[in-house]
Amino acid sequence: MIRGIIFALGVVLCSGIWAVWIASRRLHRARLMQMPFPDAWCDILTCNLPPYKQLPDALRSRLHGYIHVFLAEKYFEGCGGQEISDTVRVTIAAQACLLLIGRNTQCYPKLRSVLVYPHTYVVGGKDDFGGQAQPPSARLGESWQSGVVVLSWNSVKGGATNFDDGHNVTIHEFAHQLDQEDGAADGTPILDGFSCYRTWAIALSGEYGSFLKRVRSYRKTVIDSYGATNPAEFFATASEAFFEKPDQLHERRPDLFAELVRYYKLDPRDW
């Protein structure tokens, strides 16, 4: 009896502490969203995020807020000699948060760390016993379900300076993070409701099938052909095209474009 009472009190106490922590975290994030944005960071975005100057004031303000939250909550680590400066942090955070500014959402809640290499890096090779663990593979970026994004700074800069070619490693890997928030990398991020999943599945399955046929017949596509790897890569590469080549994507794949507008809750053609 006494043990049961003590256990119940413990549950209530833990629940209360958890509720206070959640409320405190929300308040802290709300304050971060309203913080003044440093002029030096604005200069970085002007140089490294071409759509920045064309963003409507409301979206630009939300971008500033999400960047504050991102930089406060995510840990950056330089690898292979890469230094982590404000330019590196703000540029990556800005491109990542561009995917969030139309939605009322958390700032990549499962993401903990961003690892940055100076250029293309290699994974695989020998294991701890001298054997071949997996064939060496050159990478520009990766998104792990364990809460880590890996990026090549050289590729990040390339995506920042050339923002209309449909190739952006930062947008690609953070689209994967959105896809993985429900625990599965399957090309379907968390949507607003059951009906949204139905329309998403209908549109995306048809678009993906059509895309595969074009890639297999070596026909030109507005979406990078790497999207033919699987539905998760299709969503990531389609997101690259959505933000960097919205006019072409709307013209050639209007149904897919409409689904992405509904998901991201914005239309990059307005920029």
Of 163, 197, 221, the domain-final residue: 163
Do both 78 and 194 map to the same domain? Answer: no
Boundary (domain end) residue, out of 163, 195, 226: 163
Rounded to whole angstroms, the Cα distance separating 187 from 97 reads 19
Residue 136 — pLDDT band, cuts 50, 70, 90? confident
Residues 46 and 120 in one domain: yes
Indicate if the alpha-carbon torsion angle 256, 224, 222, 167 is positive or negative: positive
pLDDT digits (tens, 9 = 90+) for 164-210: 899 999 999 999 999 999 999 999 999 998 899 999 999 999 999 99
**Least confident segment among 34-38, 130-134, 173-177:** 130-134
Number of domains within the chain? 2
| Statement to judge: residues 35 and 159 lie in one domain | yes
Same domain, 201 and 152: no
pLDDT band at 134 (very low <50, low <70, confident <90, very high): low
Assess whether 135 and 245 both reside in one domain: no
Helices (H) and strands (E) in the chain, counts: 10, 6
Which residues are CB-contacts of 177 (< 8 A; sequence separation ≥ 6)? 108, 110, 111, 143, 149
- List the CATH number of the domain containing 228: 3.40.390.10
Q: What is the tens place of the pLDDT at every residue in 150-173?
A: 999 999 999 888 898 999 999 999
Please say which residue of 163, 178, 212 terminates a domain. 163
Q: What is the pLDDT of residue 33?
A: 86
Q: How confident is the model at residue 14 (pLDDT cuts 50, 70, 90)?
A: low
CA–CA gap between residue 111 and residue 200 (Å, rounded): 25
- Structural domain includes residue 52: yes
Query: What are the tokens at 229?
Result: 């790897």
Whether 240 and 195 map to the same domain: the answer is yes
Q: Are 170 and 150 in contact (CB under 8 A)?
A: no
Mean pLDDT of the chain: 89
Shared domain for 232 and 115, answered yes or no, is no
- Residue 218 falls within a domain, yes or no? yes
Structural domain including 214 reads 186-271
pLDDT reading at 32 higher than 80: yes
Query: Same structural domain for residues 101 and 223?
Result: no
Q: What is the mean pLDDT of residues 242-249?
A: 97
Q: What is the mean pLDDT of residues 90-100?
A: 98
In a domain, 49, yes or no: yes
**What is the model's pLDDT at position 21?**
41
Q: Is the pLDDT of residue 76 over 80?
A: yes
Give yes or no: residues 155 and 38 share one domain. yes
Percent of the residues in the chain that have a pLDDT greater than 70, as a whole number? 86
Residue 80 lies in a domain: yes
